[in-house]
Amino acid sequence: MDGNIGDVLKSLITETLKALNLEEGEIFLEHPSDLRHGDYSSNVALVLGKKVKREPVALAVELVEKLNEKLPKEISKIEVAGAGFINFYLAPSFFRAKMAEIVAPGNGDNFGRLPLLKNKLILVEFTDPNPFKQFHIGHLMSNTVGESISRLISFAGANVKRICYQGDVGRHVALAIWGIRLLKVPFPAETAPLSEKVKYLGQAYALGATHAKDTPENEVEIKSINQKIYDRSDQEVNELYDQGREWSLEHFEEIYEKLGTKFDQYFFESVAAPRGLEIVKKFFKKGVFVESEGAIVLPEEKSGLHTRVFINSQGLATYEAKEVALAEMKEEVFPSDLSIVITANEVNEYFKVLLSALQFTAPNLASKTQHISHGLLKLPEGKMSSRTGDVITAETLLSDLENKALEKMKDRELNNEEKRKAAELISIAAIKYSILKQKTGKDIIFDIEKALSFEGDSGPYIQYTHTRAESVLRKAKEQNLIILDPNIDFSTENPADILSDLERYLYRFPEIVERSLNEMEPHYIATYLMEVSGYFNSFYANTKIIDIENKFSHYNLGLTAATSFVLKNGLYLLGIGVPEKM
RNA sequence: GCCCCUGUAGUUCAACGGAUAGAACUGCGGACUUCUAAGCCGUCAAUCGAGGUUCGAUUCCUCGCGGGGGCACCA
């Protein structure tokens, strides 16, 4: 198959228009949302009809007549429909060839890969949890979106570096350390399990945050601790700080491994802070930043943004100043073509100010920084807060999901290790899919009951479809059956063919990947995998795939193999693995 | 008050300005007893309101109403 059939059609249309002395700049070609309207559809006649004052349907008919003169062999039929749409139906031979291409040795695992970002170095910063605070489902969200986008970019050929920026200094740390004094529970011993240590820190933080505003003295103490953390002047604070920081980071590492993220580089606020001070002071002298009420701010009202504090009246760098430094620190380690930062959308306004500051401090970095924001993960009951300790931690959620998966598998003939592995993959699929199935910017109402159901529109449903396909293929291999014999010429053997929806969908995978990449929106892949799964399950229910009586059984096996590759690669792009059995 | 985001079946989500607005869950009704029923088939059910632009609007614009977020020393 040479080139993309869509491009072939576009140039064919352009040529045909030319032959009729017509012209249209960009030919718009799409897959109709309904397969009954063909595989491709163009609205040229509608657009052009208006321009040349012709009735669209009549124009479309004329175009089709002309198109039919040079019909490529991949097209079986062209029709005029509706208000003047031209619909193209692909020929069975096209699909046969496509399927053969997908399942050919060495191709399947790479199906969907694109060379679009070859030789680019792209940074993706995401997750960004704060040591001393819990890793909750909000971080799960950032991690899920970030990992998926990283994999997409990498699938498009770029060299991706995953970055994690962690707030190891700042008020939240001071609150945690201050909170330790209020905790009745003793400081965990070095030998205590990590989960206990982390829980202790989370409690300390919650307690500190709750009581901080009880008395004015509390605020003074907390500010003092915050200062001590920055200048490391207090032995006791140093010890608590170093210990807590280490535990937190160790704990995060466990979670990343489970989630399938491997960061290439970590950056810390404690390093960014002094550097941020330096940069802001330098540009303060140049008049970019100004003093206001004892703080150093970037005055932005005139550009419609908020004025924000970069150095507070205590002389400490705020998140804004640190972030300005972070951009430079990243660039030093990885001189990139593009630097993506993924955060929750609550900082959208703030991020605009940051980019505005970067225009002054490092204009070259400002132009290649891209901010992607995701919505917040909300529970049907209401918002959660780590300040009050009212959070669902990632750990708790994942283990609930795992237990549920184990229970579902209790009658399966799998050994315990297989079950455990499958349950882990299933739990991650459930949570990640529920995050990625919708547009990135929107809030997610996370219903735990639904996520635990694993039915219908869910990650486990897609995994299940994949394992079913694999199970059939395994049986076929045991019987030494051929999977899609490329030597058989279908065009002569099977003329009165009925195409299945499945094959009409499978070949589109690379287009879906491309669109997801262009818009940085993994949900297109999620939706597509769901559709493919539905088509496969129908096919599976209606067709005896392994059937010695049927001489096209090998082609049905080919469809099964192609489905398996598409689902596996697609799930990979969502950051989801596939169990061998489930 | 100002700024940003958002409003689609009972619920959770889709729909690159196109055709009869698509899924899943729920409800109701089925089939099979063949390769994994976490499955399959059928059915009920929706574009917040009013204008405008357009051959065509869920999509773009204006206004209104509802929801979320932000508005200086937290991140």
Residue A126 CA to nucleotide B45 C1', Å? 40
Residue A52 CA to nucleotide B20 C1', Å? 29
Taking 90 as the threshold, does the pLDDT of residue A254 lie above it?
Answer: yes
pLDDT at A450: 81
Question: Residue A520 in 3-state DSSP?
Answer: coil
**What is the band of A102 on the pLDDT scale with cuts at 50, 70, 90?**
very high
Confidence check on the interface: ipTM exceeds 0.90, yes or no: yes
Taking 50 as the threshold, does the pLDDT of residue A162 lie above it?
Answer: yes
pLDDT tens by residue, A19-36: 888 877 788 899 999 999
Q: Which nucleotide is nearest to A523 (CA to C1')?
A: B14
Q: Return the closest-CA partner of residue A111 out of A579, A485, A564.
A: A564
- Angstrom distances, CA of residue A269 to CA of A61, A312, A372: 65, 16, 21
- Mean pLDDT over A501-527 rounds to 96
CB A534 within 8 A of CB A502: no
pLDDT at A25: 75
pLDDT at A21: 87
pLDDT at A489: 60
| Gyration radius from chain A CA atoms | 29
Q: Name which of A9-13, A337-341, A477-481, A487-491 the model is least confident about.
A: A487-491
Q: To the nearest whole percent, how much of chain A has pLDDT over 90?
A: 70
pLDDT at A549: 85
The per-residue pLDDT of chain A, averaged, comes to 90
Instruction: Please give the Cα distance from A219 to A405 (Å, whole number).
Output: 46
Instruction: Pick out residues 130-169 of chain A having their CB under 7 A from any atom of nucleic acid strand B.
Output: 130, 167
pLDDT tens by residue, A409-457: 988 989 999 999 999 999 999 999 999 999 998 988 888 778 788 999 9
Which one is predicted more confidently, A144 or A28?
A144
Q: What is the DSSP string of A83-144?
A: TTEEEEEE-HHHHHHHHHHHHSTTTGGGTT---TTTT-EEEEE-----TTS--BHHHHHHHH
Taking 80 as the threshold, does the pLDDT of residue A225 lie above it?
Answer: yes
Q: Which residues, listed in sequence order, are joined to residue A296 by a DSSP beta bridge?
A: A291, A311
- Mean pLDDT over A317-329 rounds to 95
Beta-carbon count within 10 A of A535 CB: 21
Whether the beta carbon of A507 falls within 7 A of nucleic chain B: the reply is no
pLDDT at A490: 58
Instruction: Pick out residues 339-358 of chain A having their CB under 7 A from any atom of nucleic acid strand B.
Output: 345-350
